[in-house]
């Protein structure tokens, strides 16, 4: 049966459209899995499609370049977080640490290579810092992530668990900066961020 939207009849997607969307989704998943192995610069298109059943031609049908692909992979990572806010709410946290831990566990579940991606993004930035066509969308992704994370801080503020002398967005930006620093430290020096949650709590607790 055809779907209806605002009185208009929409045809179901053709087999070609379904296959095309599956190919694109599969390639993005391959990117999420394979960029962390060798890094951005040393991961070739051949590395992405190797042993996947897809070809370079299939890759270039969907993406203009490795750089374009990398940005789309970052968007796919964003989408993979899913409804993490609903997970936090439904868990019924009773204080700031419990809300943070639920969110952190959900991020780790949907993005197991999070620390590695910190270095991948830094590598991408170092290689393309003078190319505004690439840096602008990267900055937009970071800003959107800060706004998304700000929901968690606003949620905590509403419950009286979080300081209110700064906006939720400003606090979210600080959290991302701390997380990025620890991610780089872990990747470069192997220092495990075992006190990261304590730092979050100290930054956010009511003043």
Average pLDDT over residues 31-51: 96
Average pLDDT over residues 28-32: 97
Position 23 scores a pLDDT of: 97
C-alpha distances in angstroms, 97 versus 39, 100, 103?
Answer: 33, 5, 10
If one counts every other C-beta atom within 10 angstroms of the C-beta of residue 140, the result is 11
Task: Give 149-175 pLDDT, tens digit per residue.
Answer: 999 999 999 999 999 999 999 999 999
Q: Domain boundaries in the chain?
A: 7-65, 81-207
Is the domain defined by 81-207 classed in CATH 2.60.200? no
Question: So what CATH class is 7-65?
Answer: mainly alpha
pLDDT-derived band at 194, boundaries 50, 70, 90: confident
Average pLDDT over residues 82-106: 97
Mean pLDDT, all residues of the chain: 93
Position 1 scores a pLDDT of: 42
């Amino acid at each position: 049966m055809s779907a209806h939207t605002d009185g208009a009849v929409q045809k179901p997607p053709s087999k070609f459209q379904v296959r095309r969307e599956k190919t694109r989704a599969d390639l993005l998943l391959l990117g999420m899995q394979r960029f962390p192995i060798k890094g951005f610069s040393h991961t070739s298109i051949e590395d992405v499609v190797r042993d996947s059943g897809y070809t370079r031609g299939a890759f270039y049908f969907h993406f203009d370049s490795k750089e374009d692909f990398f940005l789309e992979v970052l968007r796919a990572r964003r989408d993979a977080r899913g409804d993490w806010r609903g997970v936090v709410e439904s868990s019924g946290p009773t204080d700031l640490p419990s809300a943070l831990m639920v969110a952190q566990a959900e991020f780790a579940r949907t993005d197991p290579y999070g620390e590695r991606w910190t270095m991948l993004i830094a590598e991408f930035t170092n290689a393309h810092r003078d190319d505004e066509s690439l840096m602008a969308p990267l900055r937009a992704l970071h800003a959107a992530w800060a706004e998304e994370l700000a929901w968690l801080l606003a949620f905590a503020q509403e419950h009286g668990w979080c300081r209110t002398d700064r906006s939720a967005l400003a606090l979210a930006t600080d959290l991302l900066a701390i997380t990025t620093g620890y991610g780089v430290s872990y990747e470069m020096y192997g220092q495990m961020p075992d006190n990261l949650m304590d730092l979050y709590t100290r930054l956010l607790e009511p003043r």
